[in-house]
Structures are given as structure tokens and as C-alpha cells.
Amino acid sequence: MAGFLARRLIGSVALVAVAASLAYLLAAAALDPRAAYAGRTPPPPAAVVDAQLTALNLNDRTPLAERYLTWAGGVLRGDFGRSVTGAPVGDDLKRRAGVTLRLVLLGLVCGSALGVMAGALAAARQYGWFDRLSTAVAFLLLAVPVVVLANVLILAGTWANDHLFGARVLLVAGEATAGLEAGFWETLLDRARHLVLPTVTLTLGLAAVFSRYQRNAMLDVLGADYLRTAMAKGLTRRRALIRHGLRTALIPVATYFAFVFGALLTGAAFTEKIFGWHGLGERLISSILTDDVNTVAAIACLAAVAVLVASLAAAVLQALLDPRVRAG
């Protein structure tokens, strides 16, 4: 196990290094930070622009290889460089990581819990009314892209505010009301009101995927001998299903859970952007629009690390949960 993990770790680190370098080179070659200065009135002198860009390691007149080495050297020392406005990228991303984590964790926990429950219930009564209903809903949700789902929820939220609550209960922009001066509980309530709709967006999409996974895993388990044995020894079907069936069926889903968590770090970008949450994903979109090479590269690096850590965690989790994998 340890040797297997070590080999995987070395391979992963190499993969992250190449992925991050590739992302930096792509971004540095394709994005044009100089364009931001061209539109200014009065136009700044060329020498000033050059000096400014060089200071940020963004000057396209410096050879790409040289810029890359400067950047890579900085990253090795834990310095991700500066954004186009001159602020250190690392500090900005650290703050945003917290925002993203709050959204993603809640969405993922709600989504997987809902999906696992729906999938397990559907499989327990295959082709029953709940199975058909949940399948239909899951198929519908899988066909709705996040950008549509988020906008539909915003419309639904504003409609509910106007017609059901008669007050602005659900807030659709940002993570907290700006400049809110209130006690602990009011702040918490305010955050919760902002959190509802983005969380629902993430939850619905994830629940649909998880319910399909769980249903399939559960159906595989249902015909297993040990389940029949458990019932033959006197367990009720319900107890056998929960104690023996659900636990086994959760293994592939747990693996998938770890994997999704890594992908969601940037996968929540659309949700964040539409709801105006200042998280990592939102920064990724805005940094591409503002030709912010260093930020793009840093987020790509983070995303690659997250995906690989997640897949490593998935492998470990599977080994812990499934004795057969451990033995093999």
C-alpha cells in the first residue's frame, strides 16, 4: 500500500508540474496584459508601460522562456506572482478559497446526501413509482446546464420573494450584504439567505448524478448472495438492505464523492459567477477576461492539485472501504 501510494504520489507531482507549466505557457502566450494599457486616455508612454509590465513579469517583449523561469522559480518558493493590479495573487486566492469551500462543501454534502437517499430508495423498489419519478427528474436535471439552472432559480427566487414571502427573503447577489452592521445572529441569517440559491443550484445538479450512481451500485448489490444470506438468517429486507446493501453500495459512490470534490473547486465557477460570489471560480473567469496571466496560472495549478489529491483520496478511500482492493 505504501509503495503504491508513493509511486502514485511521484507521478502525480510530475503531472501537476507539467499541467501548471502548460497552463502558464498557454495563458502567457494567448493573453495580452498590454491591451489594458492601450485603451487609456491619455495613453501612457511606452517606457512606463514596459517598466510596469516587467515589474509584474507580464511583459510580452521578454522571451516567454525567461518569463516562465521567473514564474516557476517564484512558485517553487510559494510565490504565485502578482495580478495585473499589482496585488499578490496568493493572498487573494487564499481569501477566495474560503468562500469557494463554504459553497462547495455545503452543496456537495447536500447533493450527495440527497442523491444517495434518492438512488437507494429508487433501487430498493426498482420500477416502482419513486424509481420512475426520480429517474425522470434526474434525466431532466442532467439536461439542464448550470447557467440555465442558476438563472431559473434566480427567477424563481425573485418570484417567490414577490408573491410568496412579500419581502426580499432570498438574496441572489453576492455572499453577504455589503456593509451590513449587525450582531452575530443577523450576520449568520444574512449569509444563509445568500447561501440558499447557489447551494440549491449545486445540490440539484450533483444529486442527479449521485442518485444515478447510487441506484446502479445498489442494483448491483441487490442480487448479491450475502444479502440473501443475511435475510435467510432472519434479518428483515429493510435491515438487510440498510446494514449490508447500502454500506457496500456506498463504496463506489464514496470514491466518486472524493473525485467530485476536487473537480468542483473550479467546477463551481459558473454558479459563483452568476450569483456574484467572489470565489476561486469567479476569479478564474474574471482573470481570463482581464488578461491576468499569473492568476490564471495559479488557479490552474490549484485545480490540478485538487483533482490529483482528490483522486488519491478516492484511491485511499476505496482501499479503506473495500478489503478486496486492499488485498490485491
Question: Which of 104, 118, 120, 296 touches another protein by CB under 8 A?
Answer: 296
Spatial CA neighbour of 202 closest among 136, 92, 279, 305: 279
Q: Is the dihedral of CA 147, 150, 153, 155 positive or negative?
A: negative
Q: Is the dihedral of CA 33, 36, 39, 41 positive or negative?
A: negative
Q: Does 312 bind another protein (CB under 8 A)?
A: no
Closer to another protein by Cβ: residue 210 or 317? 210
Tell me how far, at minimum, the Cβ of 311 lies from another protein, in Å.
9
Q: What are phi and psi of 88, to 5 degrees?
A: -60, 130
Q: Are 19 and 58 in contact (CB under 8 A)?
A: no
Scanning 63-71, 80-88, 106-114, 131-139 for contacts with another protein by CB under 8 A, the matching segment is 131-139
Closer to another protein by Cβ: residue 6 or 152? 152
Burial class (CB in 10 A: 0-12, 13-18, 19+), 36: middle
Scanning 54-62, 100-108, 181-189, 293-301 for contacts with another protein by CB under 8 A, the matching segment is 293-301
Residue type at position 27? A
Which residues neighbour 144 within 8 Å (Cβ) at sequence distance 6 or greater? 152, 205
The interface with another protein within residues 237-276 (CB under 8 A) comprises: 266, 269-270, 273
Q: Does 7 bind another protein (CB under 8 A)?
A: no
Q: Does 70 bind another protein (CB under 8 A)?
A: no
Spatial CA neighbour of 23 closest among 318, 233, 305: 305
* DSSP summary character for residue 125: T
The interface with another protein within residues 148-207 (CB under 8 A) comprises: 148, 151-152, 155, 158
Q: Does 140 bind another protein (CB under 8 A)?
A: yes
Q: Does 138 bind another protein (CB under 8 A)?
A: yes
Footprint of another protein on this chain (CB under 8 A)? 15-16, 18-19, 22-23, 26-27, 30-31, 135, 138-140, 142-148, 151-152, 155, 158, 209, 212-213, 216, 219, 266, 269-270, 273, 284-285, 288-289, 296, 299-300, 303-304, 307-308
